[in-house]
Amino acid sequence: MADLWQSAMDHAVAVARKAGQVVGKALHDDRKVMTKSSSVDLVTQTDQKVEQLIIRSVKEKFPTHRFIGEESVAAGESCVLTDEPTWIIDPIDGTTNFVHTFPFVAISIGFSVNKEVEFGVVYSCLEDKMFTARRGRGAFCNGAPLQVSEQTDIKQSMVATEFGSSRAPETVEKIFCSLRNILCIPVQGVRGAGTAAINMCLVASGCVEVYYEIGTHVWDVAAGSLIVTEAGGVLMDVEGGDVDLMSRKIVAANSKTIAERIIEEIAAFSPPRDDVLPQHQ
């Protein structure tokens, strides 16, 4: 049977690498920082330039495909996932890191058909680590196979999470309530790379047993979601049950046991879904 999506994935890897070069060159130059949903939700001209580069390049090769791009949605485009082949793009995942030259910045490209992620590409461009996964064919970093951690004891686990872009007191309270509960299990450590995509690749790489966050967007997690599951990991909603990549809530773990143990400690809340409200709200 013809492999429909390999050429698309090869293109995603090539354009992610090219975008990574643009990001690397702009790291110390692009000082025009703008804000979106809050004063700490940053975007730069490089985010916008990289997204346009990726979309333009894909359109030339796959003119009928659709796009969900972080900065296109911020500019008012719809964020509704259909059955059509769709590229789900975060041009810079870790924009705050980029602005502060904190060295974890990724280009994240997920590809969905019939609302199922067929491949995911996360390029951690300052580390030169290309994370890839094809559905049913495993997950890799620079070509080397990835496997989640075999740790079953939450008290011997490392947890990743982020504080997100909301500073609303009630949201901050929930975030710190979850963090306190989890820290006091106790877990051995809590870390955050500053980018959802790289946090998910750390789960896939076996460095972190579980990553959770409330507030992510579909473009943050689409590619990483497949990299985690193809490395043997699981995805769940923060309240248990199946993950919904549009729900802005995610747990990505090495096993259901660890995921469910963390879910017990999360003080859940539900931000507006990606596919309901305009993203600028």
Residues that bind ligand LZGB4YJL (CB under 6 A): 41, 70, 90, 92-95, 162, 164-165, 195-196, 213, 215-216, 220
Looking at beta carbons only, is 112 or 199 nearer to ligand LZGB4YJL?
Answer: 199
DSSP 280: T
Instruction: Confirm or reject binding of residue 220 to Mg ion (CB under 5 A).
Output: yes
Looking at beta carbons only, is 8 or 175 nearer to ligand LZGB4YJL?
Answer: 175
Other beta carbons within 10 Å of 75: 12
**Is 90 among the annotated ligand-binding positions?**
yes
Q: Which two tokens stand for residue 61?
A: 């090769």
Instruction: Confirm or reject binding of residue 213 to Mg ion (CB under 5 A).
Output: no
Specify whether 152 is catalytic: no
In whole angstroms, the minimum distance from the beta carbon of 27 to ligand LZGB4YJL comes to: 14
Among Mg ion, ligand LZGB4YJL, none, partner that 216 touches (CB below 5 to 8 angstroms by kind): ligand LZGB4YJL
**Is 92 among the annotated ligand-binding positions?**
yes
Compute the radius of gyration of the chain from its Cα atoms. 17
DSSP 153: -
Q: What is the largest CA-CA distance in the chain?
A: 54
DSSP 272: P
- Separation of alpha carbons 224 and 222, rounded Å: 6
- Separation of alpha carbons 90 and 48, rounded Å: 10
- In the list 51, 93, 162, 265, the residue contacting Mg ion (rule: CB under 5 A) is 93
- Separation of alpha carbons 12 and 150, rounded Å: 30
**Is 93 among the annotated ligand-binding positions?**
yes
Annotated binding site for Mg(2+): 70, 90, 92-93, 220
Annotated binding site: 70, 90, 92-93, 220
> What positions carry a catalytic annotation?
70, 90, 92-93, 95, 220
